Amino acid sequence: MSNRPHIVLISTDQMRGDLMGCAGNPLIETPRIDYLARSGVRFDQAYSLTPVCIPARATIMTGLEGHQLGLTTYKEGYALPTNATLPKLLGDAGYETRVVGKMHVYPERCHYGFDSMLLCEEGRMLGAGSEKKRGYDDYEQWLAEQGYAGQAFGHGIANNEYSMSPWHLPDHLHPTEWIADNSCKTIKRRDWSRPLFLWASFTAPHPPLTPLMRDLYMYEKDEMPQPVSGDWINRHSLYHQRLHATYQGEVKTAKQIDNAYRGFYASITQVDRAINRIIGTLREEGILENTWFVFTSDHGDNMGDHDLWFKANFTRGACQIPFIITPPAGRNAESILGSDWVPGQVNHSPVGLQDILPTCLAIAGVPIPEDLDGKSLLGVVQQPKTDRVREIVLGEFGNIGKRSLMVTDGIWKYIWFEEEGEELLFHIEDDPQELYDRSGDPQAPLEDWRNQLAAKLTMRVSDPAVIDGQLRPRQNLPKLSEQERAKLISHYNPRGVH
């Protein structure tokens, strides 16, 4: 039997970094996620650098950021451009590699190095990125076998919609429960002669917001938080105007917002319980004390902040994500990290999804490819108070000419909109909710951050946003017209009985 460490990567979908008790949220119930933080290291400046599902997950799989992947926006049908994926590299080194839940890769049944995949894709029909319709994912096929064929979306809530309704079928048929059940079964059915890499990829709290009633009850008497509004929302960039119009930020009622928050909170609490089942299964199998955990999300959600919903931008809610690394429990942690290592630390270095692949390889003792954007965080886990991974990270979303770009060191954050040159500057150390735009403050280091972004882009072969070392917007455009705004309203990908 192998003594090499097991690795369990647990991811949520569309979960903000502040929706955890360990991150200071006084209302949400996440005791098991908090346990992982108390037992490991939490990174409070973790970012999804292309914050939407497909590119974010491609970054987890490859250790490459959107620019290197050629993927800086949502693009169905995109195939990963490399065979050096996280499961392939671990598999080549002797690991058993399995995933349960959401992958959102193309072709959907391409394993990319996984020994097995059990898919739950939030209601997306397989083959959606091509002309070939290939049916339903493993969860919906299983649901049919249980006697509920075609009823996965009988709740009437669409993918990407911010309505909320309690789960309409028996509790054990919920996709979160299915992902937890099959993750636990995968642990129990593992090859005892090999170390295990398991990715438990939960679809929650990504809409449809359909939590179990028992988790909604937990928040029944609570007053939900309200979205925040910065002093800059009356001059939204064209990019933010489109986001605002598509997801109807101005027309949601107080009740709709309240229900959406309850849906998010209850869905995360349900995942939290599922995590405890995974921990318990590892314990009962006798391998918890030889298992590393990585917990994160592919991106967050604006959740109404600054009149914005959805993701795909660089305000805090959309791009800042939970990120926790927890070493094996008990004496094994001391043997790996030293007898004076103190769990429950918080590191402030800017990190991101690109760091997951090299970190997992370092944990496994596997050589790390040289051409990655990501860096191993194992050294930071060993010395969380002193080590800094990098000085700044660059976020990029959108097609050339219409991009939103961000640079941050975890203290300041600068956002620049390529289309018309609108910019935002936040001192996030003192203003974490990004309420006060400092771009008009003569005392703020605006020019320094413009130059930092320009320098990052200049390192590329040719980026049209930089001319002679200076940022140059595509053109100076007016606000969206009423007609343009009206045409952007989303239908949210509804599903019916099938």
The per-residue DSSP string of 38-106 comes to HHSEEETTEE-SS-SHHHHHHHHHHS--HHHHT--S--TTPBPS-S--HHHHHHHTT-EEEEEE----B
Per residue in 37-96, pLDDT (tens digit) is 999 999 999 999 999 999 999 999 999 999 999 999 999 889 999 999 999 999 999 999
pLDDT for the residue 126? 87
**How much is the pLDDT for 128?**
66
pTM of the complete model: 0.97
Following DSSP, what letter does each residue of 161-192 receive, concatenated?
A: ---B----S-GGGSHHHHHHHHHHHHHHTS-T
What the block records as the tokens of 277 is 């089942």
Q: What is the pLDDT of residue 166?
A: 98
- List the catalytic residues: 53, 104
Instruction: Say how many residues make up the chain.
Output: 498
* Helices vs. strands in the chain: H and E counts, helices first: 15, 16
Domain borders along the chain are 6-390
Given this model, what pLDDT does residue 251 score? Answer: 76
* Residues of the chain below pLDDT 70: 1-2, 128-130, 249, 330-332
Topology of domain 6-390, CATH:
Alkaline Phosphatase, subunit A (3.40.720)
Q: What is the pLDDT of residue 27?
A: 98
Q: How many Å apart are CA 303 and CA 229, to the nearest integer?
A: 11
